[in-house]
Structures are given as structure tokens and as C-alpha cells.
Structure 1
């Protein structure tokens, strides 16, 4: 579909009303366009399509205000009263009714927001976020006193994050920074940051003790690297005197992209920046060698990471198989699965101490002698309940599967073949277990490493984070954030929708820099992790709100037209993130491991680059810039889970389709309908939104496909997760993967009656289309699945299907689907490959 060029709406004339009094008593500039916007919103809710009429009515409202409040300042309520009066007098009773109802609803919402935030008034930031978002912020992120009362507002939260993330910018100022690292090392000076709490600032933004701790930590690192032109005393003196005050514009920029809901960093940055833990990374990978010392060191280091609130991934394939010879004791090895149980038990213990329960990804290579035991290790949810598990499919597997030749299993202790297995048996067992209980997932070794920039010098990547989308070497962290692409839908003066590519470009540039700063300012839990993070400087800029965006643009998720837009969208974000990474390399320096990567050879880490016919942007120019100036970040794009942050932004999660247009949420005091915001807007524009529609959609499992009175064109566009075939889920995954550096966290949904053979075909399609991994979920395959998308007869039908397939006990795919959320007691569901709370956004994947 052709996207409309950007246009602006401007009311004629200049209003004599220049100020308005807000509800909190503050007097601010009067914006006439807001009056037109309010009228237009009311008109659209009843199917109105004449935006120019809304502007004419707004002019009449302003004329009325000018007559009535000459020389005075009207209040917000006065303006709303005037809108009602004009609408009624001009014969627009239906619009007036819609406006009055909207006004009443807003009053109720304001009251509820004040209750949630424990405040007497709400500010502009509070207004930007819906009730559900504020509940998530309160439950998970806002500071509380020892009695559980809030001592922080959303505005203060986003301010402390923005201040913290701006700190690295000071250290790249040319007055203090030497990119060539030719300075002498200044003498170390002690500093008690607690004594200076809130006593110094960057412009108007005060630094708390944890901000100052980060300032000193960065100074010491740059000083050690011989990059500081001044001593600590001199640097701090400059800070006190306001010589860095111009960086307040950077704080304002980072603050704005968050409060406008264009971007959110991952959960740890929101929770920890400007707070004691100070860790902005979500998850990590650790290497495990075939020795007890290595295993125990990994166990200890993982506990430290969990305490700080991170998740951990491991590949256990270097451990000798169960029963193998142990020379030091002349005994038999217990095998990787038994050692995984140690990590599982430790997670149970440590989960009480951190900000969330620790999440694990356990991987085993397809050619390990214990692979069959690994595949079935979680059957019945009797073991490894704190693990996601995935099989790393080695390159030689496919040829053996194709020819049905016995597949060799190799003892990692000596590299010798110790057994063979039917590749068909192994493949079908993997898929059966996924059909039965959604695990294990699979990761494709050859596709992952074909686009691995460091393969030649660092060897293959064999490990991922707990949700499988971040491909990492041992000691690398996840530094993630997501752009809300739904935020870039705009309306022109005719009420037509367009996608604002220019604004998306500017946001991508800002957010790439935001994430690069996360690496610098991070308070890492382990020195080895800090060193590796600074060496490869991987960041992961992802997306959320894709499902809602496609709803609004009229692009079906499950069509070639929709997938073409997905590809273009991800190509655009990846391109501009790399443009910014080159600029950062010029200003701040290249990543230390640039020479160990394939970037100097003119290669890029995604399949789309190899297909020139698919390019929409000048990739040749970018590659030449990288060859000339280098690049700062090993990866710039990853699509991670967005459970909590997409709830804060009020949009669909990640690159997933909308799960359900309407679903019933069951809580302690009863149940209510949750309506997807984009679905609501589309239906209001079509004049179809009412209680009957919501009831019908909820009874149809959240889908409109069988509702007779909904027009065919709307049905074609508003497809939800289970309207989409598994094949089309995978095709969408492949479309995004073509332009994504790392991998993608996404669930491929199957209906309850899907067969194992059907699932096998989809797995093989994913491999053939270039996906790097697959996570699947067959509806009702976990007995305690709880996201109720239907009511009445539909719900009974689901239960009948479940009974027919004689389910085993749930195997806790993605850790704990079906268990209660530890924060709000709602039962967990599977989304983006991870157990997530549909009510408050809590996720066992640390990135979300």
C-alpha cells in the first residue's frame, strides 16, 4: 500500500486565548489544535470522516472562548464546556454525546490513575500512559519505601534512567577525552559519592549517589585506558561548575523517546539505572568446560548474576556423557543433565534474593551422546523447571537426515564417535516433545554462524540467552531496547494514516546511541563480562507494536504484502542503527575486536545484505563507510521479548501478531475484557465498536473471522495469532530475520489439533527460509494454559480438544507457563518464546 506523505494540520487565524489553566493549577500555553483534535477523536469514534469539519467547529469553540474569557485565562474544564456547547448548537448531537462520554471516562481514568500512583494530581507523563502501564510501572519499577508505598513517580523514573544513560556522553567530550589514548594515567583518587547525593547536576538535572557512582566508575576506566586529559579532581570540578550543562539536551532527548513511548530499554535498565544495582544488561552467557572447577565456577558466577537480576545461557556439550570414564576417580561421569539440575536447584534458592527469578537456557549439541536424554529431560515438568532447553542442530545433521544414515554421536572428552542414532528418530523426538509440551526449541548452528561476524577469530557461537534470540560468546551480555513502531503512525489533515519514516530514522539514531551508552555505564556483575562486553560492544535494538502497526496500516500479517512491509521496516532500522554505529566509531572509537570481525572485509551479519535486489537503501555506501571508519558495535539489532515494556507502551509485543483482539482477563475480583488498542481504533472508525462486538469477539477466541457483520476487508486485515497458519508465522519470522543481526524471540502458534507431521514441516520450512531458531506452541499443549480467549461454548470446545489428546502434565515450556505470576498472581502464558504474565508483564526472560 502506498504510504501518504507527511502533512500538518493548522487552524486558521491566531487565537486571542494564549494561556490555559490545567487541573493541577499550572498555567501553560494554549494550543488550539488540541481542541480540533478532541473534536476529531469524538467524531471518529462514531464513524465520522470529515476532519476539516472538526477544525471549523474548533474555530467556533475558540471564538466562544474569546468572547467569554476576554482578558482572562480559561481552565481545561471551561474549554471542554465550550466544546460541548458548540457541538450541540451546531447540530452534532452524536458527536457531542461521544465527547461527553469521553470526558466522563477521562475523569474516571484520572481518578483511577491517582489511586494507582498514590497521588492527588497527575502530571503530563502520567497522562501519556494508560492504567495498565501505570500498574506495571508500580508493580515492577517505581521505587517504594519499606512499607511498600511509592516514593517515585513515572516522571522521576524516566528522568533517573535518562540521566544515568547520558553519563557516558560527558566522557566523550573533547575537553576531557582522548580517542587516541595517549594521555598519562592520572593518580587514583578516592571519592565518596554518597556525600554528593543530589548536590551536582547536568544542567537542570540533579545526579543522585548512584549516578555519581557511575561517573566515578567511568572516569576510572577511561583513566586506566589513558583516555582522560584531566585528573579526577579537575573533572569533578568541571562538573560542579556546570561545564557539562549543555548535555542536558541529551538527557532531554533520551527522556523524550521514553515518555513519548517511542522506545523502551530492557527491564534491568528501567529497574536499575539510577538505583543501587546499576546493571542495565538483561542476560548473559557463560562457558562451561569439562571439569568440576569450571562447573562450580559457573555455578557461583551465575548466582552472582541472578542476584543482580540477570538471566544466563549455557551450552553443556563440553561435559562428557553419563557413564563415561573419569580418570581422577576411576569412576563414571554423571553427565550434563545431572549438572544442569545443580543450576536448576540454585536458581530456586537465589530467586528470592534478586529482582526476579533467574532464567536459564540450557543447550546441547545434536551430536552429544546424551542428546536423547536431554530432549526428554523436562517431560512431565518433573525436572529443570527453571530452564528453557534447546538443541543446537549441527551442520552435519541435515545430510544424515536427508539420507537417513546413522548419525554419529561424539564424546566431547576425546572427540571419538561412541555411538550412532537414527537422525529421523532424533528429529521426530525433538518435534514430538515440542508438540507435546513446547520444548525443546532448536537453534540452527550453520545459519547462526554463517552471519557471525567473529567466527574466523573467535570460533562458532554455540550459546544463546534464555529466550534464544541473543547469540553470544561466553561472558557477553544482552544490552537491549525496543522501538515502538506503532508510535510512528500519524494522520494527515484529511484524516488519512501515514507512517513517519523520518521520525523513525531520528529515533533509531538516538536509541542506538542510548544502547551504546548502556555498555559504558553498566555496572557489570563480573569483570570477565565487563571485558567481553567492551570488546565486542554488541547491542540489540528491536521492535514492538508490529501487530498493531499492521492493523492500522491495513496490512494483513499473513500476506506477502504484509511481509514486504516487515522486511522494509527491519531493513530501515538496521540500516540507520549501523549508520549511527559508524558515527559513534568516528567520535568515540571502534570496537576493540573490529579486526577480529568480518566488517573490514565489507560483510554484514544478515542475509538481506547478500540479496541486492531486495535493497531499499544504499548499503554499498554504508559498507564503504565501515571500511573507512570502522564500526562501534558488533551487533546493533536483535528482536527480544517485550513483555513488560510493550505493556508500558500499550502495544502488541515484539514482532508478534496481535494475540487476541479481545480476551477475557480473570482476576481475583472477577473478569473483564481487554481490548487491543489498535483493534479498538479500527472498529471505531468503521462504526462497529460496541459491547456486542466485544462479547462476540471474546466468544470467538479473540478473532473476528466468523463474525458475520464484520466486513470482509476488515477481516482480511485484523488477523490474530491463531488466524495465522504456522507456515505464515514462520514466513514473518524469516522476513524480519533477513535484516536482523542476531536472532528473534517469537512464538510460532499451532492450533490444538495440529499434528506432529505438520509441526515437522514447519520446522524444516524455518530452516530453509534462513531462520536461526524456532520456538513453537500448540494451543492447549500445556494443560494449565490460562490465556482464555474464549468464553462459553468456545471454552468448552477447547477443553474437549484437550481431553481428546490425553495431555500429560505441563512441561513448563519457557520455564513456567501456567504457574502464577509472582507479582500479581495471574497465570503465565507463552509469548515471544517466554513465559509472560498477560496482566502485569512480568516475564521469566530477563530482557522483557
Structure 2
């Protein structure tokens, strides 16, 4: 049989890694600074061509090499080889050493991501077979005692050569395994570590080898992630303290180093000198060294790479010191600052609550920009437009996420009185906004992030919908910023009733921007009459259903613009007496007033809901109200402090924040709570828990703000607010029904004493105009190791890529349950990889478990909306609600987004669509993933018939940004 020769030269798009790459584009010289450690410890040159050879053999072993298949294999192998090499050299641009297992891991990952599951599975099983053979050979030739020093192995330690201390190395690994002793094979990690060493290896490389050895075992048991974190922590301690210190010695170590850290930080110009005025001995003694064991590998690596302060590249923070630094920064103005700092530290370091990323970045520093989100309104003149762009840059510089309201800017072809010319519309300016977001990358920590909002009646709305398309005039495309529709209820009514919709320029209908509800409808109808009579010349009338279909098509094709609803955001706003909500923020959870003189600001943090569960007398997990109330009281105080401590780059932001004092406390770990309760996400029980848990969170948040008002005074614009009038967020559902005249179908049940809280608020006021908003928690949930915000599990096993590298993520709850059934083994790991982390096709797993651990794309999105609707009735702002959908169709999209509107949701966020290949591999017994059916709660009668998108649009580019992908955490400007 003839086969195509495997590719031995490198694809042209592989990155150069040395100065001679241009003269040797495909030769070995390009890779002279990279080496491979083989399993026998020998070090050889890195030759990417061998990766292509091995991958080609894997393909041919599965599919053969006849005809067109061979050509396809050759092309695919070149692409995958490029991916593997890119992944390897990405974090070592100047050269480095790879272990052979690391390379094979990347090959396996590339095969899985390419959808070549048969080849990947064969590759996995072959590796496992070879590993077992090596283990048998080792057992036959060695004693069962722990590995001894490798003959001739010495290490370089601060320039001096000394023998490798095997006993110390084993002790360090064992200490990293604290709390997981029955699960972790310390000797296996030690053996693998030593296997990867060579004579004269730098001592720091020894511990890197140990980290790699432990990390490689994470997929076999999530406990190895904590061991890997423990080993990483050892290297961090060595870097920070300048010497190797055991974790067991860190109770004293923390207390001794803490004052040194504060002095060094102040001296280096990083920390506020006020931190040196605290009782540092008392605070140092309050540090809880044992809490370092809470971190998994992803969480600790994220902190190390992006949060810990450093001086000339050397980290000077350790985990508990980091949390105390943040706590001190938030307690600067407290009368009893040490006591408050310890109180704040306790809920941070115990993972009960976590402040948002800007607060973690900057608290206690000289640039204490602690707020998360900024919302602006852009005025309709050239000076105002460029002032808004300048404000974007200043606010983004220190990690603020941005939401811009562009509705006031006149439309294309509108008359410009000053020049007697015609306007170019909104789009050209949005291109400048896009490029500014790229240019101002938050000090190199992460890219700038902004979302532009436009109301649905704006004459530029059709072009606005296409901003993220990959075709068309690039000067009218914004690939690096987000966009969102700001949709009035009247448009949705026209869609439901299949009516006509008229587009205007805001220069002709200026008051529509500030109107909502029935006042908007009255004004809009009057403008339509003027358009028909010829009084308004510049307008366009189109079928509302046609525009709705285009919205859904673009959402599917590009992931933008997001669908957000103007009227519920305003009708249910506590602050409607002093302004209008013109947009949401970068992540669609903030709904605050903006105008030309006020930039709305929100300060975020999230309660770890899963840490507030306890067992009742029957042994079932329930919400711990007492602990939850205590945590929220402290958290609301922290968030309120942010307002006074925060650095404001723009005066309009300071003015708004001081007047209204809004905060946005959210939740994370919702899915983890369901696992503890043994409740599937797709169930009525989950909907009820969503309702009752959010009721409790909001009740205690509003109560805490009202108690703060007794101590500190109510916010300045409290009089006349809905709070002042005794109208709480739940009560505003009646207002929404009244204004809409129908089209609101929500549950009104309650369990707590809201009348008592209403009376307390009317008597004492509120410290904060707004209190609750559920942000994505993309990064802070990684730090503490829980599921993000309110989302279902993405996959039960996958590789997560972010700025810190690639991490194997395994569902710990699933592993626990499978172990209890005796089902967790190598074959199960291989099957989870093969089926993309889904259990649906693994028959030996009980049906009850398959239902409980259904992943995001297997859950009917109706359940996600129903859970969100129950939360929304309690929340005074909104929630970042991603919609996960497999097998996207116009009918599904139409149903889900109409349902979201009818259920009273204020906003939605990303549409996460699963591609056809993934859907095929993960399909359930019924053959369909998360299909909308009338049997599911929420397939409500009365919704208009769904318009099917044309086939050409349905099979367009699927939004591929998913939780496992690098760059997914785009919204970490919020969290």
C-alpha cells in the first residue's frame, strides 16, 4: 500500500524563536535554543518535524492513507503541528526545555480540538498502554522503596553545585499533598520529577519539573491540582522570601515577612504610605497560613501571573499577604481600621466573598482605581464625541470596563447645521473607539474592553448590527469591541404583532432617548405620524420582524450585538426620579443612569454561594442564612468603602458615584450549590433554588445598605427614589406589567418578611442607590475554584486556556460521585476526553448522574432563562446571562429571546453556540442537545410564531468563544 510521506518540514506560519529564524525558515537551526528531556533523562534537540511524523502515523493507523484521505491528512498534520509548536513556544520565546510528556499532551490536545476524536482516542489509549508497560518494566527492575538520588545528579543553587537532596524534594511534594494524602501518590510524582532531570540542572528547574509531574496527573484526579498548587506555592515562597521555606513554617513566616513587605512596597512606590500606619504586628499575626491549601493550580497560577505585586520582575506578595493588602486598602478610612481589615481579610481569604479584579489589582496601591464598570452617554457634537473617547481611554487605563451610550449621535446623512453638510453617522466614530480600546491595554495587564449601545429606532441600527462581521469595508468594522442593542418594549410588541417599525435620526426625535414605557410609545407614534405626513424627511420604515430576524442572525453569526431591554431597566430602576438608564455596561449587569454630566460607576464583588451551604438535620444541603447574612453585611461595607477610596480618572465619574453610591454585589458558585444538593440544572428544583437563594442574597444586601445608612447616612438622592416610596425591586414587576399592558409572565412568590424591610428602609434610608448585580466572575471564580456566577458547567473535563497558560479542568463533584460508584478509572478519563467532557453517551454511568452533570450545551436554554427570571425579580440591577445553545436555529433563537423579554429580564449577554461537529460528538440519546420543546416550563403559550432564519444565515459562522478558549474572559474588567 502506498501512502503519502509524512510531513517533515515545518509549516510556514510557525513563529521564529531566534534571530536566525529568517535565514533558516524550516531548518533545525531555528530551534537550537529549545531542547527535549526524554524519559531516560537525556536531553536532545527539539525537532518539530518529528511531531509531524508521529501525528501522521496516528492518522494513518486509524484512517489509512489512500487517495484524497492522504492529502487531507498531510494538510491537517501541518496545521496541527503548527498549533502544537505554537503552544509549546508561546511562553518560552527565548528558548527552553520541554519534557516529552508535555509535547505529547499538546499533540493530544490539538487532536481533540480539531475534532479528530477517533485519532485522539487511539493516541490516548496508546500512551496509556505504553505507560503501563514502562511501569511494569520499572517494577520488575527496582525495589518498592522510594526513588533514590539519580547517579551523578547535581543541581546548581545560586551558582554553586551540590547534590540533589532527594529527601527534601520528597518532603516538599508530600507537604504539597497535605489534605489529600490518601489520594496522592507522592512517590509517583517524585519518580516522574527525577526522570526529567539532568546533571547540573538549576535548582529552580527541579521544582518546575515537580510541578509538571503533578500537573500531568490532574486529569486522573482533581486532587493533583491542589498538589500542583502546593508545589507552585513552594517556588513562589522561594522567590518572595529568597530562600526555601516549608509551608509548615509559614505561620511564623507570614508574621515575620508581612512588615517587611509593607516597607518594601512603600519604598518601591507601589503601596500607599498609609498602609505603614497600621498595626502591622497585629495584622501579620492574623494571617492564616493554612488557607494557602485552598488553592487549586489554576487559581494560584492566575494570582501569581496577574495579581501579585512585583518589583523589577520579582514577586513580593504571598497569597495571604495579598488578601490582607486588599483588605487594608479597603479599610483605610475605617475608625477601627485594624479590626475592619481583619474582618475584610477573613471573608476574602476564606473564599466566602471576593472583590472584583480592579479592586484586587489596585487596593492599597498608589493608584487605587477599584471600581469595575463605567457607563457614559455620548453627546451629539464633535467635541462631546472626542471627549467621550478620551474618557474611555482614561477610565480603561486602570482596568475599568466601559459601556457607551451612542444613541444621541445623529444618523448617517443627517444635516449638520454648523457646516451645512451631512453626518457620517455613528459607525466611523465607533471604529475610533475600537482602536482606542486596543491601544489602552490597562498597563499591559489585559486589553481594554468597551461595549457600544444603540437604540433600535436609530437610523444607523442596521449597519450597527454588522459591525462585527468579517466581511465588508474594514473601515466600518469593529472586531475588538462589543456591541449591544438597547431595545424598547414597543419594538418587541411590534415584533410579536408583526407590525412595521420606523427608524429615525436622533437629531429629528431627540426626546426618544430619554423616554421609556408609555411615554415613549406616545412620542414614537407621534413621530411616525410626522414621518407619514412629510414633516420628518429622514426616516425608514421596515417590518419589525425583518429587523428582529437580522438581530438574531447577527447574534448567531458574530456573537453581537447582545440583546438588552431598555424599558424594564428603567421602569424597575430605583433611581428613575433623577435620570434615565441609557445603556448597560461591558457585561450587561449594570443598569445606572447616565447623562452628559454624569458617568455612572459601579463597584463589584461576589459572594461565593457554594461556601454558604450547610447540611440540615436530614443531611441535605441547604442555604446557611446566618452565615450568608454575616458575609453580606461585611461585603456591602467593603463595597461602600470603595466609593470613597477609589481613584477617579474623570471628574464626572466622581460626581455620579458620590451622589448615588451604587454598588453591585453578585454571586458565583450557583452550579456548585446544585451539585451539593444533587439537583440537575434542568429542573424545577433548580429554578426554585435560584428564586429562594437570590431572594436571600438581595434581602440581606438591601438590609445591610439600610443599616449602613443609619451609621453613615443615606445617599444624597435617596428622597423620591423607589426605595423612599416603599417600592422594592420585587414590587416593580407590577409597574412593568402596567407600562407594557401585558407581555409580562413572571412568578411573584416570596418567602422572607419584605414588609419589615420596606418599613426599615423608609425609616432609615439606603446607603446605596443600587446594591445587587450579577457579574460574570470570569477570573475571580477561577481564583477560588468555583463555577462562574450563575452558569451551568461548561464541560466536565477540558483544557482551559488563558493568559496564564493551559490548565486541565476536571469536575471534582463528578469525580467524587464516580469514585463512590467505582467508575473512575483511566477508561472513564479517556471517554470523557473523547466525548468532550459530556456524560450523555457513556452508558455505564447511571442516568441520574448523566442528568445531574449535563453540560451547558446539553441543557435546554429555557431552564437558564427560567432560573434567571426568578433571580431578576429580586435584583435592583441586572445579571450577565450567557445563553448556551447547540444546534442553533432561527426558531430556537426566536423562542429564547422572546421568552427572556416576556419573563421580564433586563439584559442578556453572549450567545454561546456549539458547532455541528461538537454537537454530533456530544449528542444525547434523543439525538438533540438543549432543544426547545413545549414540554419544558417556559415554552409559554402566547408567544408569536418563530420566524425561521434562512438556511444561509443559520449555517453562518458560529460564535466560537467558549470558556475553554484563550481570551474567553473578555469581561474580566468586571470580575
TM-score past 0.5 threshold: yes
CA distance in 2, matches of 1:673, 1:380: 32
Residue 687 of structure 1 deviates from its aligned partner by 3.7
Residue equivalent to 2:330: 165
Q: How does 1:790-829 map to 2 (within 5 A)?
A: 829=962
Which secondary structure state, in structure 2, belongs to the residue aligned with residue 264 of structure 1? strand
- Contact residue 584 and residue 590 of structure 2 kept, 8 A: yes
Which secondary structure state, in structure 2, belongs to the residue aligned with residue 275 of structure 1? coil
Residue 706 of structure 1 deviates from its aligned partner by 2.2
Residue equivalent to 2:823: 688
Q: How does 1:141-220 map to 2 (within 5 A)?
A: 141-146=307-312, 148-170=313-335
Residue 466 of structure 1 deviates from its aligned partner by 0.8
Match of residue 328, structure 1, among 407, 418, 423 = 418
Residue 613 of structure 1 deviates from its aligned partner by 5.7
Residue 558 of structure 1 deviates from its aligned partner by 1.1
Residue 361 of structure 1 deviates from its aligned partner by 1.0
Is 1:464 the equivalent of 2:584? Answer: yes
- Contact residue 836 and residue 844 of structure 1 kept, 8 A: no
Residue 561 of structure 1 deviates from its aligned partner by 0.8
Shift of the 682–741 alpha-carbon distance from structure 1 to 2, 3 Å rule, reads farther
Which secondary structure state, in structure 2, belongs to the residue aligned with residue 701 of structure 1? coil
How many aligned residue pairs are there? 651
Q: How does 1:224-373 map to 2 (within 5 A)?
A: 244=336, 247-351=337-441, 353=443, 355-373=445-463
Residue 585 of structure 1 deviates from its aligned partner by 0.4
- Contact residue 358 and residue 973 of structure 2 kept, 8 A: yes
Is 1:127 the equivalent of 2:293? Answer: yes
Q: How does 1:653-668 map to 2 (within 5 A)?
A: 653-665=788-800
Residue equivalent to 1:214: none
Residue 721 of structure 1 deviates from its aligned partner by 0.5
Shift of the 573–734 alpha-carbon distance from structure 1 to 2, 3 Å rule, reads same
Residue 116 of structure 1 deviates from its aligned partner by 4.9
Which secondary structure state, in structure 2, belongs to the residue aligned with residue 541 of structure 1? strand
Residue equivalent to 2:518: none
Is 1:437 the equivalent of 2:558? Answer: yes
Which secondary structure state, in structure 1, belongs to the residue aligned with residue 402 of structure 2? strand
- Contact residue 662 and residue 676 of structure 1 kept, 8 A: yes
Shift of the 502–128 alpha-carbon distance from structure 1 to 2, 3 Å rule, reads same
Residue 260 of structure 1 deviates from its aligned partner by 0.7
Q: CA RMSD in A?
A: 3.4
- Contact residue 455 and residue 487 of structure 2 kept, 8 A: yes
CA distance in 1, matches of 2:672, 2:562: 27
Q: How does 1:544-693 map to 2 (within 5 A)?
A: 544-606=668-730, 614-665=749-800, 673-693=808-828
- Contact residue 608 and residue 614 of structure 1 kept, 8 A: no
TM-score (norm 2): 0.62
- Contact residue 754 and residue 778 of structure 1 kept, 8 A: no
Q: How does 1:67-82 map to 2 (within 5 A)?
A: none
Residue deviations 1:690-724 (CA, integer Å, cap 9, x gap) = 33222222322222122111112222322220120
Which secondary structure state, in structure 2, belongs to the residue aligned with residue 477 of structure 1? strand
Which secondary structure state, in structure 2, belongs to the residue aligned with residue 276 of structure 1? coil
Q: How does 1:481-560 map to 2 (within 5 A)?
A: 481-490=605-614, 497-560=621-684
Which secondary structure state, in structure 1, belongs to the residue aligned with residue 973 of structure 2? coil
Residue deviations 1:86-135 (CA, integer Å, cap 9, x gap) = xxxxxxxxx99647769976766533331255453334242221221110
Residue 162 of structure 1 deviates from its aligned partner by 0.5
Residue 346 of structure 1 deviates from its aligned partner by 1.6
CA distance in 2, matches of 1:669, 1:269: 20
CA distance in 1, matches of 2:750, 2:953: 49
CA distance in 1, matches of 2:802, 2:386: 42
- Contact residue 881 and residue 907 of structure 2 kept, 8 A: no
TM-score (norm 1): 0.71
- Contact residue 690 and residue 868 of structure 2 kept, 8 A: no
Residue 159 of structure 1 deviates from its aligned partner by 0.8
Residue 669 of structure 1 deviates from its aligned partner by 13
CA distance in 2, matches of 1:99, 1:495: 28
Which secondary structure state, in structure 2, belongs to the residue aligned with residue 472 of structure 1? coil
- Contact residue 838 and residue 922 of structure 2 kept, 8 A: no
Residue equivalent to 1:114: 234
Shift of the 582–699 alpha-carbon distance from structure 1 to 2, 3 Å rule, reads same
Is 1:758 the equivalent of 2:758? Answer: no
- Contact residue 117 and residue 150 of structure 1 kept, 8 A: no
CA distance in 1, matches of 2:811, 2:732: 32
Residue deviations 1:394-422 (CA, integer Å, cap 9, x gap) = 12213322333321222211215422121
CA distance in 1, matches of 2:231, 2:574: 53
Residue 301 of structure 1 deviates from its aligned partner by 1.3
CA distance in 1, matches of 2:600, 2:572: 17
User: Of the two, which has the highest radius of gyration?
Assistant: 2
Shift of the 669–277 alpha-carbon distance from structure 1 to 2, 3 Å rule, reads closer
Which secondary structure state, in structure 2, belongs to the residue aligned with residue 256 of structure 1? helix
CA distance in 1, matches of 2:334, 2:856: 42
CA distance in 2, matches of 1:464, 1:158: 30
Residue 683 of structure 1 deviates from its aligned partner by 3.0
Residue deviations 1:622-673 (CA, integer Å, cap 9, x gap) = 0011111111111111000111100011011000011111114579999874
Match of residue 302, structure 2, among 125, 136, 161 = 136
Which secondary structure state, in structure 2, belongs to the residue aligned with residue 749 of structure 1? strand
- Contact residue 323 and residue 349 of structure 2 kept, 8 A: yes
Which secondary structure state, in structure 2, belongs to the residue aligned with residue 599 of structure 1? coil
Shift of the 115–808 alpha-carbon distance from structure 1 to 2, 3 Å rule, reads farther
Unaligned runs of 5+ in 2: 1-169, 190-223, 248-288, 510-526, 532-538, 735-745, 929-950
Which secondary structure state, in structure 2, belongs to the residue aligned with residue 380 of structure 1? coil
Residue deviations 1:506-531 (CA, integer Å, cap 9, x gap) = 11111111111111211121121111
Residue deviations 1:372-397 (CA, integer Å, cap 9, x gap) = 11111221175212221111111221
Shift of the 843–668 alpha-carbon distance from structure 1 to 2, 3 Å rule, reads closer
CA distance in 2, matches of 1:695, 1:806: 36
CA distance in 1, matches of 2:229, 2:920: 27
CA distance in 1, matches of 2:355, 2:801: 29
Shift of the 613–809 alpha-carbon distance from structure 1 to 2, 3 Å rule, reads closer
CA distance in 2, matches of 1:723, 1:301: 42
- Contact residue 117 and residue 134 of structure 1 kept, 8 A: no
Is 1:421 the equivalent of 2:542? Answer: yes
- Contact residue 165 and residue 517 of structure 1 kept, 8 A: yes
Residue 424 of structure 1 deviates from its aligned partner by 0.9
Unaligned runs of 5+ in 1: 1-76, 85-94, 171-243, 799-803, 819-828
Residue equivalent to 2:58: none
CA distance in 2, matches of 1:477, 1:674: 34
- Contact residue 228 and residue 296 of structure 2 kept, 8 A: no
Match of residue 703, structure 1, among 838, 841, 851 = 838
Shift of the 471–706 alpha-carbon distance from structure 1 to 2, 3 Å rule, reads same
Residue 736 of structure 1 deviates from its aligned partner by 1.9
- Contact residue 698 and residue 791 of structure 1 kept, 8 A: no
Residue 256 of structure 1 deviates from its aligned partner by 0.9
CA distance in 2, matches of 1:706, 1:462: 46
Residue 457 of structure 1 deviates from its aligned partner by 3.0
Which secondary structure state, in structure 1, belongs to the residue aligned with residue 428 of structure 2? helix
Residue deviations 1:177-228 (CA, integer Å, cap 9, x gap) = xxxxxxxxxxxxxxxxxxxxxxxxxxxxxxxxxxxxxxxxxxxxxxxxxxxx
